[in-house]
Every structure is written in C-alpha cells, then in structure tokens.
Chains A and B, each alone.
Chain A
Amino acid sequence: MINTGDTAWILISSALVLLMTPGLAFFYGGMVRKKNMLSVLMQCFIIMCVLSLQWVLFGYSLSFHPASGFWGGFGWAGLKGVGLEAYPDYAGTIPHQAFMIFQAMFAIITPALIIGAFAERMKFSAFLVFTLLWATFVYDPLCHWVWGIGGWLRNLGALDFAGGTVVHINAGIAALVTALVIGRRKNLDTNTPVPHNLPFVVLGTGLLWFGWFGFNAGSALAANGLAVNAFVVTNTAAAAAGLSWALLEWKRNGKPTMFGVASGAVAGLVAITPAAGFVSVIPAIIIGSLVSVFCFIAVSAIKPKFGYDDSLDAFGVHCVGGIWGALATGLFASKAVNPLGADGLFFGNPKQFLIQLATVLVTIGYTFIATFLIYKLVDLFIGVRVSEKEELMGLDLTQHRERAYTVLE
C-alpha cells in the first residue's frame, strides 16, 4: 500500500541528499587553492551527471536486484520492472522508483567524497573514467552485499542504517588508496597550501548538515518514529562533534577555529550515519564527542607522520569517522530504539560488535584492493596525474580553460 506521507518524505529526503553533493563541492572547494576551485566544483557536479545516468541504466540493478552473487546483475537494467508500485522487500509503502531515486543520491555522493584525497592533481579525463569504474566495481557490489536482497553481509546481520560502511568507510579507504598512489602534491613542504575561502567551507558544512537529515532520517524509508529518532540523533551527534573538535583545538593549539568546528560537525555526521536508526540520544552524544578525538588524531598526527597527502582529509574524516560509527553501532545499538535492529555489546549482545567488525574489515579489504586495481588500470591507459606544469598553473585553467576569480572586475 502506497502511503502518501511516506512517499512525500522520501522525495524530499532524496532532494536533501542530492543537495549534499553541491554542499560537499563548496566544503572541498573552499579548502583548495583558488587556482583549483572550479576543478573541485566541476568534479562534484559532473558526478551528479554521470552517476545519475549510470544509476538508472545499470547501477541500481547491480546494487539492488535480488541475487546472492558478487552483485545484483542486470535484471533491473534501464529500470525495467522498477515501477511505481511498492517493492515491499525494500520499502512497503513507497513506489519502488522513490526508493531507487533516494538510493541514487547515495551513489552520487560516495565517489564525490573521494575527491578530497586527490584534489589539485588529477587529470579530468582520468577522473571521469576512474569514477565510473569505481562506482560500478566498488560501490555497486558493496552496496549489494550490505543492503541488497541476497547480499551476504546483510544476511550476516550487519547493521548499517544509512551508509557508514557503504558510503563512508568505502569512500574513505578509496581516498587513502588514491592519495597513496597518486603521490604528494608538488612543493608541499616549502609551500603549505592554505584554504582559499573558509566561508565556502562553512557554507558547505551547513548544506551538508541540512542534507544529512535526508540522508539519515530518510533512511527510515517512512515518515515515522524511526525517522524522527534518526533526525534527532543526527543533529545531536553533529553538535557534540563540532563542539568537541573546538575544545580539542582550544586545549591543544590555544584557540578554537571555525575550520575545526566545521570539520568536527562533518565527522559527527559521518559517525552517526550507520547508527542513526539503532541508537538513542545519549549514545549519540558519546559517538559525536569521541569521533572528533579520533579524526583529530588521524588528521593532525597520523597523516603528518606517514606523509600521505590526503589533501582535504577524505580518509581522515570519512574513513576514521565511519569505522568508529560502524563499531559504535555494535556497541550502542538497542532493540528498544528499533525492534528490527539488534542489541549491541552494551545491551548484552557482544556478537553484534563482532559482526560490525567483520563488515568493516571486509569493506576495507575489498575496497583497498579493488580501488588500487582500478587506479592502476586508468593510469596505464590514460595517465592519472597532470603534468608538473599543469599542477603549478592550476587545474581550472589547464583542465577546463576557466578561472574562478579575476583580480580586477
């Protein structure tokens, strides 16, 4: 039975999640140097174009068509059989296509998150091919394993409410791999790049926070109490994490920064994502407060120590925050919040924590290897990195023949 309230909420949520990608574009765009501003906006926007098409043509089918293998197959390619009736195995009260388009927005933002790792140095042509291959051979299978009917991680009992594993750990690990293989930006040691427009970073953070309500509360797939729970814990965790990051900076560096609060809020949103439909508000505060500690360490201590150039901390925030969120779900999940979920370790079910851990490890392992192979393949045929001269001149002019800003006029 189609429910109009549920359908309306999912359509609005889909639009909210779509807005996260332009939000991310500004979040990342503000952090790069101004000669690369358009390249980042462009990468985010072109993903909206390319992946929207990939998704309706075959991505949705590969991800969600019922099957028990590597992925879902081509049974729903071109949305054949994906109609305006409900498909109760996924969502019983909304048209099947509403579920499809809601999921499309997740498929769009996930590869966009990776941009943060290789920003300022990837060829646009290589980026396009890499993104399409990554979406097809990494995102779609993993999405199928965790959320698809017949997916083996789903059958194992893994809890991932809105995409901590599929979206954040997945993109975060891919970010680490690409940062490692593409190498550091030129002259990084003598010339530390500074964010060219922090107000854009804050604008982007605001759009992300706003859109995340669709991401998490929409994942209830109905306008019900569970959606409200997800909404409340999402806001709470983001708030706790933003404050916690500011306090950490204040203690360690003497002053709290706007950049820090923005980073913390995003980390909090990442961490609460897998847990949003399974935990209550006090665990959300704990999840949010601690994620800033872990991400802060990853970004300010681990990254400099190992020297990989994860330009905008896609790994440091999304992977680290995503792992903490997935594990925290195994700690704090409670059937009192969601009877269809499971109890976590602190509610007497240690097995759930182990399932969460296994899912995290599988994701890390598969994504690491598959991303590496895809990168090498694209590098072999196209060459991934721009020339040194192009990098120095900036990607806006060399990849797009455009400039974001002029000095005069």
Chain B
Amino acid sequence: MKKIEMIIRPEKLEIVRRSLETAGCAGIMITEIEGHGKQKGVVQQWRGEKYKVELMPKVKIDVVVRDQDVDRIIKTVIENAWTGEIGDGKVFISNIENAIRIRTGEKGENAL
C-alpha cells in the first residue's frame, strides 16, 4: 500500500477530485493548506502597497491505494492538475505499513 499526497492548486480541486473518483479511489482526504515551494508567492495589495505573499493557499489531497494502482493514479493527477505554470504543485509517495478499518477490524488492503 502506498500513500499519495498531492499538493495542488485550489482551483484544480474539483477536477482532480472527480478524476480520482473516476480512477477508482474509494477514500479521499482533503486539507486546505498554506505553504510555498521554490516559487514563493503571489502579489497582493495592502492599502495600495504591493507585496508578495509567501504562503500560498493550496489544497492537499491524500489517498491510500494498492501498489498496483499507484502509477495510474499519479498519471491521472498530473493530467488534471497540470497548467504548465509555476505553482502546479507536487506529488509525494510513501509506504504504508498497514491499514485498519475501525468498524470491522479488517486489515491491509481489505481495509482500504
């Protein structure tokens, strides 16, 4: 099992979310975050003074999937979150040791 964390543009949330559902992700966790990568920000104004906002609003989507689904899901995410401009975000993949469904006690992939 792998966890895929996707940091994407907030305006891409809807389309990425739909595509994940179409690709067969049963569960999905969404968090609103602020942060920055290498790019650092967008220009905003404070009473006429322009300033760069270092922390950008982003959306983080977490899904936990079976190993064999990882490539397919990453491909879907990149297709849908891509604009080609700075700030498209990142995808992180990590191993998951185990998963347990609280209601039934099922373990591993059965719990996904």
Contact = CB atoms under 8 A, between A and B. Distances in A.
A392 B55 CA distance: 19
Contacts of B50: 401
Given A191-B14, A392-B11, A401-B50, A407 B44 contact: no
Contact of B43 (A394, A401, A408): A401
Interface in A230-285: none
B86 interface: no
Contact of A408 (B10, B12, B34, B42): B34
Contact of A403 (B18, B32, B57): B57
A402 B50 CA distance: 10
A300 interface: no
B33 interface: yes
Contacts of B45: 400-402
A88 B3 CA distance: 78
Interface string A189-232: 01100000000000000000000000000000000000000000
Contacts of B14: 187, 190-191
Given A402-B44, A402-B45, A393 B34 contact: no
Contact of B44 (A389, A392, A403): A403
Contacts of B12: 392
Contact-size category for A? 10 to 19
Interface string B36-57: 0000001111000010000101
A261 B42 CA distance: 40
Name the prevailing secondary structure of the B interface residues.
strand
Given A190-B18, A397-B42, A407 B57 contact: yes
A407 B42 CA distance: 15
Contacts of A190: 14, 18
Contact of A401 (B11, B33, B44, B57): B44
Interface residues of B, number: 16
Contacts of A406: 34, 55, 57
Contacts of A35: 10
A186 B65 CA distance: 31
Given A407-B34, A408-B34, A393 B43 contact: no
A293 B98 CA distance: 55
Interface in B53-85: 55, 57
Nearest to B31: A407
Interface in A355-405: 389, 392-394, 397, 400-403
B12 to A, nearest CB: 8
Given A401-B44, A401-B50, A407 B11 contact: no
A407 B18 contact: no
B11 A393 contact: yes
Contacts of B55: 406, 408
A394 B15 CA distance: 16
Interface in B5-19: 10-12, 14-15, 18
Interface string A104-141: 00000000000000000000000000000000000000
15 contacts: A187-B15, A190-B14, A190-B18, A191-B14, A392-B11, A392-B12, A394-B11, A397-B42, A397-B44, A401-B44, A401-B45, A401-B50, A402-B44, A407-B57, A408-B34
Q: Which 4 A-B pairs have the closest CB atoms?
A: A392-B11, A401-B45, A191-B14, A407-B34
